[in-house]
Amino acid sequence: MSKLKGVFLVGFGAASYGILATIVKFANNSGAHTSALTFYQALVGVISLFILMTLQNQKEKPHSKPAVKSKLKLLLFGTSMGLTSCLYYISIQYVSVSIGIILLMQSIWMSVVWEMIQLQKLAHWSKLVGSLMVIIGTVLATNLIQQEIELSVTGVAYGLAAALSYTISLHASNHVEKQLPSITRSFYLISGGFIAVVLFWNVQIPPNLDWMILLKFGLVLGLFGTVIPPILFTKGIPLIGLGLAGILIALEIPVSILSAHFVLGEHISLIQWSGVLLIVLTVVFMNSRKKKS
């Protein structure tokens, strides 16, 4: 029963991430500016996590306060989270959400390259094969073979930049200051992301702020983008293990594409679905190997 609960928690957390791009594009079509959306998403996240962190400290025995060095490190790596949102949401202004999520998932092979550079040795054959499969899946999912889709170079560039930033975010989530309580870590990481969002958009933020945007889109983006997933992952991953969790997190891809199809009316061809399936199966394969090793 506890394993089933863990599967639900992690799966719902992944699905939460999957709907973000569709909400942003729908909001853009409704007149909301991306600067306001990313600002509200980060702001709601910071406030919510601060409240949760305060409540946790009151409920439990106070943990030793994070050292200044730890805080600064988390804030620094957290900027990658804010940049990921900014770059990803700009990307889907030029390409469809279904293409945008595929570009973001290039973080799969980028993470392998990151690991090789960090460890200064060649990755396991399964990771190399998996990286190649992701690239092949991307070619299919973006329909480059049939060339039915004209890809915006600007959109692809922002999408790949978002993937690189996302790779750094994943490293931060899994390796930086892990000795601290998860909500405390999340608070400082998201705070770093908030700083990055403010610096990235700067003067474009004030004229685009609107209470209706906050109420209609900002609260949802903040909760589903920065609050709910980390909490669900923290509770669910210990129940099922990292291997199965890594597989379930791949649900973000089909959820993102399906939500874009039903909400935004984006068309996805059969060959694109085959590419998506190949990427998802590759994630399953790579995490299955990780679980066995």
pLDDT tens track of the chain, all 293 residues? 677 788 888 888 888 888 999 999 999 999 999 999 999 999 999 999 999 988 887 776 656 677 888 899 999 989 998 999 999 999 999 998 988 988 988 887 888 888 788 878 887 777 788 888 888 888 787 766 665 556 789 999 999 999 999 888 877 776 778 778 888 888 998 999 999 999 999 999 999 988 888 888 999 999 998 888 878 877 787 787 756 666 677 788 888 888 998 999 888 888 888 888 888 888 777 766 655 55
Q: How far is CA 70 from CA 49, 175, 188, 253, in A?
A: 17, 12, 9, 33
Helix 107-119, helix 125-141: angle, nearest 10? 150
Residue that is written with structure tokens 């009316």 in the block: 265
Residue 262 CA, distance from chain mean position: 21
**Strand ranges (DSSP E) for the chain?**
none
CA dist 158 and 156 (Å) reads 6
Contact 41, 218 (CB under 8 A): yes
Q: Cβ of 293: how many Cβ atoms within 10 Å?
A: 8
Rounded to whole angstroms, the Cα distance separating 262 from 274 reads 19
Every domain of the chain and the residues it spans: 2-292
Tokens standing for residue 79: 């900027």
The residues near 268 (Cβ < 8 Å, ≥ 6 apart) are: 98, 257, 261, 276
* pLDDT value at residue 61: 64
Query: Which residue, 230, 227, 231, 228, is CA-closest to 47?
Result: 227
Residue whose C-alpha is closest to residue 99's, from 152, 146, 136, 145: 152
Tokens coding 15: 């699905």
Q: What is the rounded distance in angstroms from the CA atom of residue 276 to the CA atom of residue 246?
A: 16
Q: For residue 244, how many C-alpha atoms fall within 13 Å in the half-sphere facing its CB?
A: 15
Of 99, 104, 140, the closest CA to residue 257 belongs to 99
pLDDT at 147: 54
Q: What is the DSSP letter of 60?
A: S
Q: Are residues 11 and 252 in contact, defined by beta-carbon separation less than 8 angstroms?
A: no
- Indicate the pTM of the whole model: 0.86
Per-residue pLDDT, 118:
80
Residue count of the chain, please give it: 293
- Tell me the two tokens of residue 83: 């940049």
Question: Which DSSP symbol is given to 204?
Answer: G
120: left (phi over 0), alpha (psi -120 to 50) or beta: left
